[in-house]
Structure 1
Amino acid sequence: MIPGWLLVAVVAVAVVVVVGIWLSGLASRLNRLHIRTDSARVNLEGALQARAAVIGVLRPDLLPAVSRAGGLALRAEDMGARSDAENVLLQELDREDIASPSFVAASTKVDLAARFYNDAVGDTLGLRSRPVVRVFRLAGSAPLPAYYEAMSVGDSSQ
Structure 2
Amino acid sequence: MSTLAVVLLVAAALVVVVALTVWSLTRVRRLHRLHVRVGAARGGLATALERRAEVALRIADVPGAAGSGRLRAAATTARSGAAPTPGGHDPAGAREARETAENVLTRELAAVDRAGLPAPLAAELRDAQQLVVLARRVHNDAVRDTRVLRSRRLVRWFHLYGTAPEPVYFEIADPEPAAGPGGADVESGRHPTAM
Structure 1 spans left out of the alignment, 5+ residues = none
Q: Distance in 2 between matches of 1:97 and 1:143?
A: 41
Are 1:74 and 2:89 an aligned pair?
no
- Aligned pair in 2 of structure 1 residues 109, 4: CA closer, same or farther (>3 Å)? same
What letter matches 2:43 in structure 1? V
Give the letter for the 2:141 counterpart.
D
Paired AA for residue 69 in structure 1: A
For residue 183 of structure 2, what is the aligned residue in structure 1?
Answer: none
2:157 matched to which residue of 1?
A: 135
Unmatched tracts of structure 2, length 5 or more: 62-68, 177-191
- Kept in 2, the 8 Å contact 1:91–1:156? The answer is no
Contact 2:147 2:167 in 1 (8 A): yes
C-alpha RMSD of matched pairs (Å):
2.4
1:126 maps to: 148
How many angstroms does 1:63 deviate by?
3.8
1:157 CA drift (Å): 9.6
Q: Compared with structure 1, are the counterparts of its residues 138 and 55 closer, same or farther at alpha carbon in structure 2 (3 Å cutoff)?
A: same
Structure with larger RCO (C-alpha < 8 A, sep 6+) = 1
Q: Is the 8 A contact 1:77 1:146 kept in 2?
A: no
Q: 1:5 to 1:156 in 2, by over 3 A?
A: closer
Distance in structure 2 (CA, Å) of the matches to 1:156 and 1:91: 11
- Which of the two has greater helix per residue? 1
Structure 1 counterpart of 2:153, which letter?
P
Q: Is the 8 A contact 2:74 2:108 kept in 1?
A: no
Aligned residues: 158
2:124 corresponds, among 102, 106, 127, to 102
What CA distance in whole angstroms lies between the structure 1 residues aligned with 2:24 and 2:46?
33
- Deviation string 1:80-120 (CA, Å, 9 cap, x unpaired) is 22111111122233231598222111000110011111110
